Structure 1
Amino acid sequence: MPSPTPQPEPESQSPPPGPRAQRLHQIHAASLTRTLDKLAYENLAPCFPTIARRAEPILRQVQSQMVQKLREKSEAEFGAILRARGVVGKLNELEGVVAAAAEEQARVRAEEERAGEGEDDRIPPHLLPPQDILAAHLSSRLAAHQSLLNARLQTTQAQNALLADHVRQQRQEMDELLRQLDRAVEDVRGANAVLGAVADELAAEARAVDGQLRAEMAS
């Protein structure tokens, strides 16, 4: 049995999605669309050949409503899972960590470039004594920056691991949705077998309704 759907939090508690969160929504939407495309009318009509031939508008309406309901339910459950687990907020935090690391790296690089300016008039680097070169590479300021970047890198790796776990869970839920859709198709085929005995009656009723509508329109 599928796991119970998490209770959604109020919309006001959901932060605006950043680039990674938007991409996650796009991936879910594309996957859902590909899944629901399997329930296209062209795939459903062969399961109900008699109804498709004699009452195509009714069958098209049923197919459209079924696809719409499945889409709404899947999107609602996906949104509830994101809110319950705080996925958008965590992805936004990851965006901030990555941006801060990039800014820090750019700042350190700029400081190193500024520190190297004007040295052409001094002793060439290849003529510096070994102890000066070693001191330049092991200065406390650069060591502090290295520690900060390492800490942020570890945070980013932890966030990536969490994101990978969420993606695996989403794939599992999508696989479960596909299995449910397959069962629904089997149910539809079973219903087709049951309706075969009353297909003529349904067709007669459809013709009667069509005739009544034509008569009303003509009057």
Structure 2
Amino acid sequence: MPSATEPTSRSPSPAPAPPLAEAPGTRAQGLINVYNSAIGSTLKKCSTNNFASCFPTAAQYNPEVLEHMRQQMVNQLDMTWKANFEALLKERDVVRSLNALDRYVEDAKNRKAKAEKNANGGPVEVPVPPHTLPPSMIHLAHLMPFLEEQATEMNSRLESTQQANTELLSTITAQRAEIEALVRGLENVVHDLEASAQMMGQDEIQGLSREIKDLEMEMKK
């Protein structure tokens, strides 16, 4: 197993965790149940007899009104305590935190089961405790997901740019071939025109020579 201060390799970063559910998980629901049970047990102490013992005169002469007051007080306390508890859960984000704890515990159980399975009955390699790792490795562990995301995005952009460059190169190659074909056509036209001009020049010279010879013959006469 590599040393905590001199690691020889770095395992790939885990996949990003799924978003935490807003609904209470096992531990969050357990906390809510315990609180509700504590409230119920506390309010049960405020029974009719216990409440009446605190107000013996009212219990003797008007027990119905006293019981009505007791029920109102119990209901009001129940609603107030539960409302304050729910507000505290939202303020401290308790449900999401306990859901995260559930996920971490489940992930640890899965890792342990996988390590025991890979050991094939042999000794299970104990992972390095995080608190013994150097700060650089801890910082890198938190930074790697962001870097991998950025690398994925850059690779995607690079592939898009390479594809665009390939298409542009194909277009330029086709245009260059078209230009070369036009140039060759123009060269052929120029060559034909030059040949035609040469032929026309020879015909004119020959005609002029005949005219000169005819004129000399007439002069000799």
TM-score, length-normalised on structure 1? 0.46
Higher RCO, 1 vs 2 (CA within 8 Å, ≥6 residues apart): 1
Structure with a larger share of its residues in helix = 1
Larger radius of gyration: 2
Could you state the TM-score of these two structures normalised by the residue count of structure 2?
0.46
